[in-house]
């Protein structure tokens, strides 16, 4: 945590921590000075402050600033966080490492908060959890290195545990092989074939993977093309050419055009850009 963040008021620290860890804002991965950093769009932060979740959080945590009532007050509140360097405004560049790689980001000299700009997080995400995870990894490594010094009972327990895990993995592969052989047999004897545990590889929970016990290998239904769509595609284009005929008669001085694109009212819809580009 930087010095500016340490000296920030308690309510600003609480607000930055809520936005970083509890708001659910969409963040992207960028490359800043050779390091991977999370950044977000300003509109996401504005929406987070105007959400019911933040209004509910202010009732539980007394150190959070009051919930803003509109976009203007939300932007002003977020702008007040910039001098404390919880996040800073950046400009995006090209992608690194391919099309789907993180984009280069660069901190700009002029710092202000607007919904359409991007901002990089300089506040670590949940530092307490990161410290606990780092400590846990160190303990696991030390425990593995000192395995020969473990008591005999613990080493025997770890051995039985590893054998049990390997047995479960072997059982899973055995089930997969048996169900494949059974399907090959039933596809010849009783079409369209029978799968044992048809949801074994489906995107479901562990228990649901073994329900039902068996099922027919029925292919998914094919999409039937609607007749109405076919009629529209086969409709002749002569009617459109007839409508485009302007009834223009030259030579007799009689010239009139039934054009609806000129002279009539024109409606233009302004579509806002995507919130998360």
d(CA 228, CA 234): 10
d(CA 121, CA 41): 11
d(CA 226, CA 222): 12
* pTM reported for the whole predicted model: 0.50
For 226-240, the pLDDT digits (tens) are: 555 455 455 544 444
Rounded mean pLDDT of the chain?
A: 80
Residues 117 and 189 in one domain: no
**Rounded to 5°, angle at Cα 225 from 220 and 231:** 175
Query: What is the domain range of residue 202?
Result: 152-232
> How many structural domains comprise the chain?
2
Residues 101 and 166 in one domain: no
d(CA 72, CA 273): 19
Residues 173 and 119 in one domain: no
Residue ranges of the chain whose pLDDT lies below 50 = 229, 232, 236-277
pLDDT at res. 260: 41
pLDDT at res. 61: 84
Q: How many CB atoms lie within 10 A of CB 5?
A: 17
């Amino acid at each position: 945590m930087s010095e500016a963040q340490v000296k920030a008021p308690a309510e600003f620290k609480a607000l930055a921590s809520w936005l970083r860890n509890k708001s659910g804002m969409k963040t992207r991965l960028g490359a800043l000075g050779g390091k991977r950093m999370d950044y977000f769009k300003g509109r996401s932060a504005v929406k987070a402050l105007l959400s019911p979740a933040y209004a509910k959080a202010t009732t539980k945590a007394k150190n959070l600033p009051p919930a803003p009532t509109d976009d203007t007050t939300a932007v002003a509140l977020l702008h007040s966080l910039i001098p404390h360097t919880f996040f800073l405004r950046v400009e995006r560049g090209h992608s690194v490492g391919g099309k789907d790689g993180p984009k280069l980001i660069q901190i700009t000299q002029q710092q202000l908060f607007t919904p359409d700009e991007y901002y990089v997080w300089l506040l670590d995400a949940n530092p307490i959890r990161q410290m606990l995870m780092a400590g846990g990894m160190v303990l696991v490594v030390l425990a593995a290195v000192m395995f020969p010094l473990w008591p005999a009972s613990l080493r025997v327990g770890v051995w039985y545990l590893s054998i049990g895990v390997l047995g479960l993995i072997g059982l899973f592969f055995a089930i997969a092989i048996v169900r494949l052989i059974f399907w090959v047999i039933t596809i010849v004897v009783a079409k369209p074939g029978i799968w044992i545990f048809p949801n074994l590889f489906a995107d479901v929970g562990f228990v649901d993977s073994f329900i039902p016990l068996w099922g027919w290998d029925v292919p998914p239904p094919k999409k039937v093309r609607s007749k109405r769509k076919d009629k529209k595609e086969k409709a002749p284009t002569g009617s459109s050419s007839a409508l485009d005929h302007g009834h223009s008669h030259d030579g007799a001085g009689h010239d009139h055009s039934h054009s609806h694109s000129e002279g009539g009212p024109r409606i233009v819809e302004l579509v806002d850009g995507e919130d998360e580009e």
